Amino acid sequence: MVDPNEFPDFVWSIGEEGSDPVVMRQGERYRQDQFAESGHDKHMEDDLAAIADLGVRVVRYGTPWRLAEPEPGIYDWSIWDRAFAACAAAGLEPIVEFLHFGLPDHYPGFVDRAWVDGFEKYVKAFLDRYPSPRWFTPINEPGITARLSARFGIWNDMAATTEAHAQALANIVQANLEAVALIRTDRSGWWIGSEGFDIPVAVNDSPEATADVERIRTLGWLVWDLHFGHEPAVAGYFDGLDVAQLARIRSLAQHDCLVAGLDIYPISVMPVGGDRPTWTSRELINFAVAEIERWHDRYDQPFWIAETSNLTLPLDQQIPWLNEFTAGLARLRADGRPARGICWYSRGDQFDWQTALIEPTGAVTEVGLYDTERRARPVADRFKELADGGVRQPQIS
């Protein structure tokens, strides 16, 4: 029987940037709100119509959890109501996202497990209100959320220990999987993932560089190991956690009705053992394709590129980057790898992402198909050409 909620064979998608973590600005905690910075909160209808104008029918979209739950257990659905009405008017189907790097103010951070129960209640309330959505990214980039909040110490909890990172990662993965379970109890919805993707590349042939590449790779795999029920690639990493929580995560592990999301940018390719060479877009994509193959060999799951853009490359590299990535996905599909789509992230320019929001100043990150004045860049026309070509097989002209 055909699953009416199955994700299409290949999707051309665009996302709307909605990050809202707590960061430090001038020595004080500060909520970095990308919806407000970009003006999307005022231009939602026009922005979604602009996405549809590029031949897109599937949009990655979420509204900040803190706005939907301003007080514990008190929900304000007005932003979601408006977003779904705007999607319907534009002919877009959303991949619904509930959490994008930031928690409501009544939770202290990701290391404290209390928010997981609150997140489950929020998801359940959402499902009760909205019967139609069928594709979900409950938590955007669980691994990156844990890494920057509890390993590098620059967001939210601002912790920087192995113990805090292990606990935050387990909490975030559990919350993500609990949400997927709730969705599948309520409807035959699909988990459409989004996760940062490390591509470590040794720039010399020393044993030290080779070992560092493997260390970076296996740390990056931990988030997938938890989601898919694999033995953790880093032995003992979660030994300090509650065994009951780990057992619960294992019981929720997913193996079907999913498309894993691999978020790949030029900066995802990390030089190991030396300075960063001047790699071309083609060389960067070749590294990405090789790492995707390693990932797929380990997990054997369908995947899509849930985020990409020219982040850290100049604007004149937007079209070459898109072309090379499209060609790379075509090669993967020709080799039998189940690449299910690509999402340019995001519709418009972002703010302060060139520094990972470490010290936000309002600096524009020029990665959008549209600029801050909502003017289409040349890459938007190229994206439309590709999207109009259909979803069955990416093509390069």
pTM value? 0.96
Under the banding of pLDDT at 50, 70 and 90, the label for residue 1 is low
Under the banding of pLDDT at 50, 70 and 90, the label for residue 2 is confident
Instruction: Say whether pLDDT at 396 is over 60.
Output: no
Decide: 329 and 342 in contact? Cβ < 8 Å.
yes
pLDDT at 393: 47
pLDDT at 394: 47
Under the banding of pLDDT at 50, 70 and 90, the label for residue 391 is very low
Instruction: Say whether pLDDT at 395 is over 80.
Output: no
pLDDT per residue as tens digits for the range 157-195: 999 999 999 999 999 999 999 999 999 999 999 999 999
pLDDT per residue as tens digits for the range 307-350: 999 999 999 999 999 999 999 999 999 999 999 999 999 999 99
Residues forming beta bridges with residue 59, ordered by sequence position: 14, 94
Instruction: Say whether pLDDT at 100 is over 60.
Output: yes
Structure token pair of residue 206 = 């020393």
Structure token pair of residue 336 = 């039998």
Span 278-284, average pLDDT: 97
Span 262-288, average pLDDT: 98
Mean pLDDT of all residues belonging to the chain: 96
pLDDT per residue as tens digits for the range 248-263: 999 999 999 999 999 9
pLDDT at 359: 87
Instruction: Say whether pLDDT at 392 is over 80.
Output: no
pLDDT at 370: 98
Report the percent of the chain where pLDDT is more than 70: 98
pLDDT per residue as tens digits for the range 125-142: 999 999 999 999 999 999
